[in-house]
A = this chain, B = another copy of it.
Amino acid sequence: MELVERMLKGDRLALAKLITLVENRSPEISNIMARLYPHTGKAHVIGITGAPGVGKSSLVDKIIASLRKKDIKIGVIAVDPSSPFSGGALLGDRIRMQSHATDPGVFIRSMACRGHLGGLAFATQDTALLLDAFGYEIILIETVGVGQSEISIAQAADTTVLVTMPSTGDTIQVMKAGIMEIGDIFVVNKADQEGADKTVVELETMLMLGTQTRDWTPPIVKTIASNGEGIEELWDRIQGHKKFLSQDSRLKERHIAQIKGEIHNIIAEKLEKRIWDGLLNDARFAQLLEKIESRELDPYTAVEALWEALK
């Protein structure tokens, strides 16, 4: 793997090519990752998530600028949940981040949705490993949305930042989305808008009402990404969480959970390729579908029959 050797020597083009291989789930991935894996485990991976429109990209932009002043090398994965049907990616927000495009200490990559559920989380996790092996000290994973796939992406992070904004209605809608528990740090962005303090109080209340017993009390930070206010405090809070994780075996436990997720993904992908793809190309499977559609057969009995045949 000449590409891997070049990447490990600091070749950004090689890194970009490897990410593309990972995104496209190339069959070479196992060899690539086996070679790279010993070089990983050093970066601090930070997930930035929240509903569309709360200003995550501006926030990430300002975090990059702040870290670069401290001469910290940073990799950014901007996960774009664009349509699984068109495969395209809307890069509007990305344009702002391009102000860092010529800085060798920053690497920004957008990732669009893959064909199947979970595929995006998988590609994101492997890309984070690539950036880690390349030597980026901080890896930011920005995800848009509040669905289950975003939660699974967040679970690949060491520290998860949940971004919200002063709510027009009530914050209950955020809680409904069911992502409160994954937040290590909460941000109320656009804090110059009306209702910021009310939103902070609502978040505090919900965190108190949470049934989970935690050793860590998630701090709530007010930011105004447009002018950079609160970014330094946010960074301090992230460092505080990193320090917290380094106590006892907490970071190791998070890493083990991440590895478990990665292994689950690898197994699922293998099965998907060997079994499902085979079925889709099998004319007898098409006949089976017709029989089920006409209610001659039910799907569960069909799978039992397939299962026996697969053995």
Q: Does A173 contact B (CB under 8 A)?
A: yes
CB atoms of A149 and B85 under 8 A apart? no
Inter-chain contacts of A90 with B (CB < 8 A): 172, 175-176
> Which residues 206-254 of A have a CB within 8 angstroms of B?
210-212, 252
Q: Does A145 contact B (CB under 8 A)?
A: yes
CA distance A151 to B83 in the complex (A): 10
> Which residues 190-218 of A have a CB within 8 angstroms of B?
210-212
Stretch at the interface among A6-14, A68-76, A101-109, A269-277: A269-277
Inter-chain contacts of A303 with B (CB < 8 A): 263, 266-267, 270
Q: Does A5 contact B (CB under 8 A)?
A: no
CA distance A173 to B165 in the complex (A): 15
| Minimal beta-carbon separation of A199 from chain B (angstroms) | 14
| Minimal beta-carbon separation of A157 from chain B (angstroms) | 15
Inter-chain contacts of A51 with B (CB < 8 A): 51-52
Q: A90-B175, A175-B90, A259-B289 are in contact. Are A34 and B300 (CB under 8 A)?
A: yes
| Minimal beta-carbon separation of A78 from chain B (angstroms) | 12
CB atoms of A181 and B118 under 8 A apart? no
CA distance A301 to B263 in the complex (A): 10
Q: Does A144 contact B (CB under 8 A)?
A: yes
CB atoms of B276 and A81 under 8 A apart? no
Q: Does A86 contact B (CB under 8 A)?
A: yes
Q: Does A304 contact B (CB under 8 A)?
A: yes
Q: List 13 A-B contacts (CB under 8 A).
A: A36-B298, A37-B300, A52-B173, A82-B178, A84-B148, A84-B178, A118-B118, A145-B177, A147-B149, A147-B150, A266-B299, A267-B306, A270-B303
8 tightest CB-CB pairs across the interface, nearest first?
A147-B147, A37-B298, A83-B178, A30-B300, A148-B149, A85-B181, A52-B173, A266-B303
